[in-house]
Structure 1
Amino acid sequence: MNSVDQHKADLMRELTQILKDAEELIKNSEQQAGDGFQSAKDKLQSSLKNARKEIDRIEDVVVKKTKDAAHAADDYVHDNPWKTAGIAAGVGLLIGLLIARSK
């Protein structure tokens, strides 16, 4: 996973945790009184519901794109086995040279 993907994953985890914390805060605030509080609470619940739907949608898109990329890579390997073997051998040689050089 590259740096951008890692940051996206971290952001998604943080957003999910924020939603959970906000939902827990709403649950624990049931004893609060007042029309203004109830109105703010209803608005927050609506915003949380929309945010949860958007996070779920984004997660679905990311999963789909990841699966598509994996299928594309699999198809490429099956369609070009010798190229793939050559690339893998080249990368292995490069890594071996770097390891040998560092000793």
Structure 2
Amino acid sequence: MERKTTNQVQDDLLTEFQALVSDTEKLLQHTAGLAGDQADQLRLQIHESLKRARETLRDAEGALRERGKAAVDATEGYVQEHPWQSIGISAGIGFLLGLLAARR
């Protein structure tokens, strides 16, 4: 499986959902007049679109999990290598948040 960037995954996801919406609109427009094979064919198209959308969502979820894990690992590594700087940064952020909270 090829590795996709976040933008590629988002574009794929958007394309899949646009196809899903289009197929759903077709189904709604033709539901009243269709019976038998035509209705079955549209249902199959909708099912396939939903299946593709689910697969794309799973891929996007996996990519986001990987990026999140990489960010956590990088943060943990930085904190372990620079503990005093991390404490200083945390104290500074806490101080700024305290000032903002006190203003309200």
TM-score exceeds 0.5: yes
Structure of greater relative contact order (alpha carbons < 8 Å, 6+ residues apart): 2
Tell me how large the CA RMSD over aligned residues is. Answer: 2.6
Q: Which residue of 2 aligns with 1:81?
A: 82
Displaced runs of 4 or more, over 6 A: none
Q: Which residue of 2 aligns with 1:65?
A: 66
Q: Does 1:54 align with 2:55?
A: yes
Farther-moved stretch of structure 1 (3-12 vs 17-26) = 3-12
| Aligned pairs, number | 81
Which segments of 5 or more consecutive residues in structure 1 lack a partner in the other structure? Answer: 83-103
Counterparts of 1:4 and 1:64, CA distance in 2: 13
Which segments of 5 or more consecutive residues in structure 2 lack a partner in the other structure? Answer: 84-104
Q: Does 1:16 align with 2:5?
A: no
Counterparts of 2:43 and 2:6, CA distance in 1: 34
Counterparts of 1:10 and 1:45, CA distance in 2: 20
The alignment's TM-score, normalised by the length of structure 2, stands at: 0.61
Counterparts of 2:82 and 2:15, CA distance in 1: 41
Q: Which residue of 2 aligns with 1:37?
A: 38
